[in-house]
């Protein structure tokens, strides 16, 4: 099937309208939902959603915040057939002043824009989208849980809606944002038990030159069957390996970290590099910055100021991890991401045996626990650090 050339606005000499937050239309729900006491990731949605569409001639429509409900799409829409679907994961928290806060949201907007460009979706103004998201969060602020380890998850989603089956970039699109209150992603997050991983290299999550470095829906579905097979063997997630050298990429959909004891008593923290096969996580980036800052400002609670932490973004293979485990220098392994924050890894299935880490029974180690505590402090506005926490004010 040949790839066709999509019709664009430029061929009509019209200038499509940019995404404009000042044109926002708000239609509030007349009846508000009851908020359940117990919430699980992604299952309960808030009262409202943000919707805005792109037409190749007209450009961006007036954004609308309206009651949460189904979308109406043509059965031939590109999103159903060729997967030009991208999304982001963000969270809103309540600060000590009771105001909603977002954690480093500009980085989410930048990543969404890069992901959209990778699948040839129309461009948008990331600053305008952030203003709209803040407004939506403010309207549904009552949905932000006040319980510890809870937050309001934000899912901006951008899909191609070109109503034709020709194989071409989608010149029509729909951008929408939904909200869902959530507690811990894993029942073990922050608790006295680690997540179990099965190392898998026969099927891969991503590959050089592919799309693993972008947040695309198509990156996730191929992992569902291997995940199911891992669960049948008693593992909660997959540690994705790549190539004959068994390079570690991600743990489930988390960025992977290990902590290794140095001979001088200090610590090495190692995570795989951003080589295009790994999603450039905002939590990953933030953890690296906090770890590096600790050496000069001792920002991590529970870690002595005298302990030096050396961070490395370098190729990490399962034979490396097995070697550290074998000589007793592997102190911790954990996964990080927006949904999980920092999750302990308790055991790794590898070549027919389990590498059982201390986190299996005691949860996060010193470094993982310090990162989780400090991240939550910053996200909820209890600790100020580099203006990472933004109050929702528009």
pLDDT tens digit at each of 394 positions of the chain: 556 655 554 445 679 999 999 999 999 999 999 999 888 888 999 999 999 999 999 999 999 999 999 999 999 999 999 999 999 999 999 999 999 999 999 999 999 999 999 999 999 999 999 999 999 999 999 999 998 889 999 999 999 999 999 999 999 999 999 999 998 887 644 445 899 999 999 999 899 999 999 999 999 999 999 999 999 999 999 999 999 999 999 999 999 999 999 999 999 999 999 999 999 999 999 999 999 999 898 789 999 999 999 999 999 999 999 999 999 999 999 999 999 999 999 999 999 999 999 877 789 999 999 999 999 999 999 999 999 999 998 7
Find the Cα–Cα–Cα–Cα dihedral 313, 341, 134, 144, rounded to 10°: 180
Pairing relationship of beta strands 237-242 and 195-200 according to DSSP bridges: parallel
Q: Which residues partner with 341 through β-bridges?
A: 337
Give 349's contacts (C-beta < 8 A, 6+ positions apart).
Answer: 196, 197, 198, 199, 233, 235
pLDDT of residue 302: 94
pLDDT of residue 189: 44
pLDDT of residue 356: 96
pLDDT of residue 381: 95
Distance CA 330, CA 328 (A): 6
Structure tokens, 122:
């129309």
The model carries a pTM of 0.93
pLDDT of residue 83: 97
pLDDT of residue 207: 92
CA–CA distances in Å: residue 16 to residues 21, 129, 326: 15, 17, 60
Distance CA 36, CA 30 (A): 19
Give the length of the chain: 394
Distance CA 378, CA 370 (A): 12
């Amino acid at each position: 099937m040949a790839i066709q050339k999509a019709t664009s606005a430029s061929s009509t000499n019209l200038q499509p309208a940019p995404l404009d937050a000042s044109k926002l239309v708000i239609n509030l729900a007349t009846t508000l939902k009851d908020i359940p006491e117990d919430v699980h990731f992604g299952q309960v949605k808030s009262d409202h959603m943000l919707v805005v569409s792109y037409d190749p001639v007209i450009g961006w429509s007036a954004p609308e915040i309206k009651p949460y409900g189904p979308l109406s799409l043509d059965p031939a829409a590109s999103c159903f057939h060729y997967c030009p679907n991208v999304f982001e994961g963000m969270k809103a928290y309540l600060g000590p002043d009771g105001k909603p806060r977002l954690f480093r949201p500009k980085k989410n907007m930048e990543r969404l824009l890069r992901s959209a460009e990778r699948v040839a979706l129309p461009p948008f103004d990331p600053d305008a989208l952030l203003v709209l998201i803040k407004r939506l969060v403010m309207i549904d602020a009552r949905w932000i849980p006040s319980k510890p380890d809870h937050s309001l998850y934000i899912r901006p989603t951008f899909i191609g809606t070109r109503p034709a089956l020709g194989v071409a970039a989608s010149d029509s699109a729909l951008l929408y944002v939904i909200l869902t209150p959530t507690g811990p992603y894993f029942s073990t997050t922050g608790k006295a038990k680690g997540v179990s991983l099965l190392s898998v290299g026969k099927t891969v999550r991503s590959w050089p030159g592919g799309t693993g470095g972008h947040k695309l829906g198509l990156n996730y579905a191929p992992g569902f069957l291997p995940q199911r097979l891992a669960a049948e063997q008693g593992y909660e997630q997959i540690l994705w390996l790549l190539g004959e050298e068994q390079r570690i990429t991600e743990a489930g959909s988390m960025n992977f970290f290990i902590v290794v004891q140095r001979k001088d008593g200090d610590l090495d923290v190692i995570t795989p590099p951003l080589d295009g096969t790994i999603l450039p996580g905002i939590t990953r980036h933030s953890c690296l910055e906090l770890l590096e800052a600790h050496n000069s400002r001792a920002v991590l609670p529970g870690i002595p100021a005298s302990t030096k932490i050396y961070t490395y973004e370098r190729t990490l293979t399962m034979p490396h991890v097995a070697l550290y485990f074998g000589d007793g220098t592997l102190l911790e392994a954990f996964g990080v991401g927006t949904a999980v924050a920092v999750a302990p890894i308790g055991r790794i299935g590898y070549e027919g045996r389990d590498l059982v880490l201390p986190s299996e029974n005691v949860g996060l180690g010193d470094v993982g626990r310090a990162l989780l505590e400090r991240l939550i402090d910053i996200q909820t506005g209890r600790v100020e650090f580099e203006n990472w926490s933004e109050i929702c004010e528009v």
